[in-house]
C-alpha cells in the first residue's frame, strides 16, 4: 500500500512469531524479570563501562512523547564524585528521616528497614542518574515523566538481563544532582547505584501482587 505521507516513512514488517513460540518467549521473559530485586547491598567488584552503555542503549529505545526522547543518563565511577553524591544524598535523607514530620510515609516504608545511611552510593561501582528534559532548545517536551519513566524501566530490565543489580533511589529533594553533575535545566529523575549484589546481600521478603490484582479483562474474554 502506498499512503500519501508528508514526512518520511519506511516499511516495518517484523517476522510474525508462531503463537506458541511467542508465549514461550513471554514466559521466559517474565521468569527473567521476576528474578529481579532492588538491591541495597552491593559488591565493589568492577563493572565494565560497556555494560552501562548497553543498558542506556536499551533505555534509549523507549517510546516517548512526540519522539522527543527527553532523557539523559549521566554515569560516573569517579570515587570523589560518588562520595560527594553520597554526602549530599545523606544530608537530604537525614532531613527526611529525622526532621520532617512524615509519619505516614515513614510507616509505609518501615518494612524496607531503610535509613539515612546511603553507603551503597560509594560501594556500588557505578552511579547512574537519569535526568528529565522538560525543555529542549527552549521548546517544551511532551509526556516527559512518562517517557523518562519508561526509559528507566528498560534500563533496569537491561541491567538485570546482564546479571547486574540496581536500586531506584530518589533522595527527596535531589536537585543537588543537577549541580554536582552539571545538568543545568534538567530535572534529576532517578539515582541508580549499579553493580553486582554483595555476597551477603539480603532483600526484604516481599511478594508481587497476584495477576488478578494487576490485570482486569474488561468485557469478558468472549
**Using CB under 6 A as the criterion, which residues of the chain lie in contact with ligand IYR when the complex forms?**
93, 96, 109, 112, 114, 169-172
**Nearest distance from residue 92's CB to ligand IYR, in Å?**
8
Closer CB to ligand IYR, residue 83 or residue 106?
106
Contacts of 89 (CB under 8 A, 6+ apart): 118, 121, 169, 171, 174, 176, 191
Closer CB to ligand IYR, residue 51 or residue 127?
127
**Nearest distance from residue 157's CB to ligand IYR, in Å?**
19
Closer CB to ligand IYR, residue 89 or residue 158?
89
Closer CB to ligand IYR, residue 75 or residue 109?
109
Q: Phi/psi of residue 177, each to 5°?
A: -70, -30
**Nearest distance from residue 93's CB to ligand IYR, in Å?**
5
Q: For residue 180, give the nearest of 119, 129, 121, 137 by alpha carbon.
A: 129
Closer CB to ligand IYR, residue 23 or residue 108?
108
Nearest residue to ligand IYR by CB is 114
Closer CB to ligand IYR, residue 10 or residue 107?
107
Task: State how far the alpha carbon of 7 is from the alpha carbons of 3, 10, 54, 140, in Å.
Answer: 11, 10, 30, 22
Alpha-carbon span 106 to 54, nearest angstrom: 36
Residue in the block written with cell 531503610 = 114
User: What number of CA atoms fall less than 13 Å from residue 73's CA on the CB side?
Assistant: 25
**Nearest distance from residue 133's CB to ligand IYR, in Å?**
23
Per-position b or e across 175-212, b if 16+ CB within 10 A of its CB: ebbbebbebeebbbbbbbbbbbbbeeeeeeeeeeeeee
Q: 80 is written with which cell numbers?
A: 570523589
**Nearest distance from residue 174's CB to ligand IYR, in Å?**
9
**Nearest distance from residue 49's CB to ligand IYR, in Å?**
26
Amino acid at each position: 500500500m502506498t499512503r500519501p505521507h508528508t514526512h518520511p516513512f519506511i516499511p516495518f514488517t517484523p517476522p510474525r512469531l508462531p503463537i506458541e513460540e511467542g508465549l514461550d518467549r513471554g514466559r521466559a521473559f517474565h521468569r527473567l524479570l521476576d528474578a529481579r530485586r532492588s538491591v541495597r547491598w552491593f559488591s565493589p567488584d568492577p563493572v565494565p563501562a560497556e555494560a552501562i552503555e548497553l543498558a542506556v542503549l536499551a533505555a534509549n529505545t523507549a517510546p516517548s512523547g512526540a519522539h522527543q526522547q527527553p532523557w539523559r543518563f549521566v554515569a560516573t565511577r569517579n570515587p570523589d564524585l560518588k562520595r560527594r553524591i553520597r554526602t549530599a544524598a545523606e544530608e537530604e535523607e537525614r532531613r527526611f528521616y529525622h526532621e520532617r514530620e512524615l509519619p505516614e510515609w515513614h510507616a509505609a516504608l518501615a518494612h524496607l528497614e531503610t535509613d539515612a545511611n546511603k553507603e551503597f552510593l560509594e560501594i556500588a561501582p557505578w552511579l547512574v542518574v537519569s535526568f528529565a528534559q522538560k525543555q529542549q532548545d527552549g521548546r517544551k517536551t511532551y509526556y516527559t515523566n512518562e517517557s523518562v519513566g519508561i526509559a528507566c524501566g528498560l534500563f533496569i530490565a537491561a541491567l538485570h538481563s546482564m546479571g547486574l543489580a540496581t536500586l531506584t533511589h530518589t533522595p527527596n529533594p535531589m536537585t543537588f544532582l543537577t549541580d554536582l553533575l552539571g545538568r543545568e535545566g534538567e530535572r534529576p529523575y532517578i539515582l541508580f547505584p549499579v553493580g553486582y549484589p554483595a555476597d551477603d546481600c539480603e532483600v526484604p521478603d516481599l511478594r508481587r501482587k497476584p495477576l488478578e490484582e494487576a490485570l482486569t479483562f474488561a468485557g469478558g474474554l468472549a
